[in-house]
């Protein structure tokens, strides 16, 4: 690791700060005001360039309405990958997407879908479009097409 590169854990924690801030619609400026710092400092925290101290992390958690452990949590799915470094990298990619405008819009829209069967079908559709195996269904036979309706 280069001296100039952010520590992967600091980058992960920062990405979780960014994700939560965007999820609740808070600007960097508003978070900075609540902390008594500049928005540039918040940018550095979110990129992992600057490490967040314990008392500052507690203050951020209070403002963002989460427990400090939220900033260290990883998705259950990432536990099957290739070790801690792979877990952190995968979690950073997921956090980056979820914290993006598209990720937030997709999550908000998806959460409005009340039917769990329809949710699973949407996941299957997106997996098929991405040409990745779906974790809940058996692999499709070559030459077969899925013609199942999304509504039933």
pTM: 0.58
pLDDT of 62 reads: 96
Residue 10 structure tokens = 């600091």
Residue 58 structure tokens = 């507690």
pLDDT of 99 reads: 72
pLDDT along the chain (152 residues), means of 10: 80 90 89 96 94 96 94 61 56 72 85 90 88 57 49 49
pLDDT of 5 reads: 84
Check: CB of residue 39 under 8 Å from CB of residue 29: yes
pLDDT of 80 reads: 43
Determine the distance from the C-alpha atom of residue 90 to the mean position of all C-alpha atoms in its chain, rounded to a whole number. Answer: 10
Residue 100: in which H helix or E strand, if any? none
Q: What angle do helix axes 8-23 and 101-111 make, rounded to 10 degrees?
A: 50
- Integer Cα distance of 135 and 144 in angstroms: 19
- Integer Cα distance of 138 and 134 in angstroms: 8
């Amino acid at each position: 690791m280069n001296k100039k590169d952010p520590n992967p854990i600091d980058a992960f924690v920062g990405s979780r700060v960014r994700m939560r801030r965007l999820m609740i619609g808070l600007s960097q400026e508003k978070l900075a005001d609540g902390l008594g710092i500049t928005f540039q400092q918040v940018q550095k925290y979110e990129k992992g360039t600057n490490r967040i101290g314990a008392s500052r992390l507690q203050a951020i958690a209070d403002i963002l309405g989460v427990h400090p452990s939220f900033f260290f949590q990883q998705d259950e799915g990432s536990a099957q990958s290739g070790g801690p470094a792979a877990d952190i990298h995968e979690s950073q990619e997921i956090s980056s997407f979820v914290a993006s405008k598209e990720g937030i819009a997709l999550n908000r829209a998806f959460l409005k879908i009340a039917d769990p069967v329809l949710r699973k079908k949407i996941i299957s559709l997106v997996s098929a479009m991405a040409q990745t195996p779906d974790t809940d269904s058996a692999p499709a036979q070559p030459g077969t097409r899925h013609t199942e309706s999304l509504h039933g």
